[in-house]
Amino acid sequence: MGESPVEALYEQVRAAVPVAADHAPPTLLQVFPGIRVLALRTPTLPPAAHTNVYLVGPDAGPVAVVDPGSPYRDQQTVLDEVIGGVGISRVLLTHHHGDHVGGAAALAERWQVPIAAHPRTAERLAGVVEVTQLLEDGEVAFSWQAGGATCVFTPGHADGHLCFEIGGATIAGDMVAGLGTILIDPSEGDMALYLESLERLRARPQSMILPAHGPPIPDGHAKLTEYLVHRRMREQRVLDAVPTGGGSAMIDDLVATAYSDTPRVLWPLAERSLRAHLVKLLREGRVRETLGRWSR
Ligand SMILES: [Zn+2]
């Protein structure tokens, strides 16, 4: 699979930050009525080492499988064994990153089911994973007698990012993490859109958030507020780091100042995030850039 800049960066961080040793074999857990989860090992961003695969639908099946991200054969076998008991009707993708789609093509092929995602995700996956059903904001991606999964378009981390609302729970993909952090990389992400999407999710009535990495977040509203506060704090720190009064600074200096509270080993990630903040601030006319030097 071709590596996106985000995946290349994940790889770089994995080489620098040890992930927790592999733990017990994956077990299927019920996290909400009509939603079960299986955490499978994936090449993701440390400290996370797994991506949650959500099985949505009636206990007896068939279910929709959200983000079968593991490219590893042993993990795919575990998923196949679980699915063998309930049956599957489709694969749903929150977005195009490898740790969310790594097992999608193989799974859809084995079970002869369609893969559904947002059109922008389909474009990004062209030639890698064949998306056969397109999903738009507000559409019901999958329904069964007792419920349904409704798409909420939440661009920012990725331009085709969807969340899936099921009753009072939201399968949130990479909007929020239960473990680790969400990277907004300016090559494929957009900080302004990400903040808008966080606001949008927060305005909805759902409470429980089911992230792609880490455990369920019972109070979704509080977590979304925390994320918004944190990102705005960081934006302010980035802005404060940009010199005024005729001075200017290079990216490395801005990272050192705006992320002085972040371990150095994470600065490659911080730099991407900082650039995403700068793109937003530049668009808003709050900073200027000349030949790689930033001022305001
Ligand atoms: Zn992602």
Write out pLDDT tens, residues 131-178: 999 999 999 999 998 899 999 999 999 999 999 999 999 999 999 998
| pLDDT of the residue at 20 | 59
Distance CA 92, CA 105 (A): 11
| pLDDT of the residue at 24 | 66
Question: How many CA atoms lie within 13 Å of 91's alpha carbon, on the beta-carbon side?
Answer: 31
Cβ-proximal residues to 170 (8 Å cutoff; 6+ apart), any chain: 152, 163, 164, 201, 204, 206, 208, 209, 210, 220
- Ligand 1: distance of its center to the CA of 23 in Å? 23
Let me know: does 143 contact 34? Beta carbons within 8 Å. Answer: no
- Ligand 1: distance of its center to the CA of 147 in Å? 27
The amino acid occupying position 291 is L
Let me know: does 209 contact 223? Beta carbons within 8 Å. Answer: yes
CA angle 170, 82, 130 (to 5 degrees): 65
Distance CA 103, CA 100 (A): 8
Write out pLDDT tens, residues 42-71: 988 888 888 999 999 999 999 999 999 999
- Ligand 1: distance of its center to the CA of 237 in Å? 25
The residue behind tokens 């302004």 is 192
Cβ-proximal residues to 4 (8 Å cutoff; 6+ apart), any chain: 96, 97, 98, 124, 187, 188
The amino acid occupying position 92 is L
- Ligand 1: distance of its center to the CA of 44 in Å? 9
- Ligand 1: distance of its center to the CA of 250 in Å? 28
- Ligand 1: distance of its center to the CA of 122 in Å? 15
| pLDDT of the residue at 1 | 45
Find out whether the peptide bond into 211 is cis, omega within 30 degrees of 0.
no
- Ligand 1: distance of its center to the CA of 162 in Å? 11
- Ligand 1: distance of its center to the CA of 115 in Å? 18
| pLDDT of the residue at 25 | 72
Report how many helices (DSSP H) and strands (DSSP E) the chain contains, helices first.
Answer: 9, 14
- Ligand 1: distance of its center to the CA of 296 in Å? 32
CA 198 to chain centre: 12
Find out whether the peptide bond into 268 is cis, omega within 30 degrees of 0.
no
Pick from 136, 106, 107: which is nearest to 122 by CA? 136
Distance CA 289, CA 287 (A): 7
| pLDDT of the residue at 10 | 77
Which 3 state secondary structure label does DSSP give 231?
helix
Domain limits, CATH 3.60.15.10, in the chain: 5-224
Topology (CATH) of 5-224: Metallo-beta-lactamase; Chain A (3.60.15)
| pLDDT of the residue at 60 | 92
- Ligand 1: distance of its center to the CA of 143 in Å? 25
pLDDT in tens, the chain (296 residues): 456 777 777 777 777 666 655 566 788 999 999 999 999 999 888 888 889 999 999 999 999 999 999 999 999 999 999 999 899 999 999 999 999 999 999 999 999 999 999 999 999 999 999 999 999 999 999 999 889 999 999 999 999 999 999 999 999 999 999 888 889 999 889 999 999 999 999 999 878 999 999 999 999 999 999 999 999 999 999 999 999 999 999 999 999 999 999 989 889 889 999 999 999 999 999 999 999 999 99
Distance CA 87, CA 107 (A): 12
State both tokens at 278.
């700068």
- Ligand 1: distance of its center to the CA of 144 in Å? 28
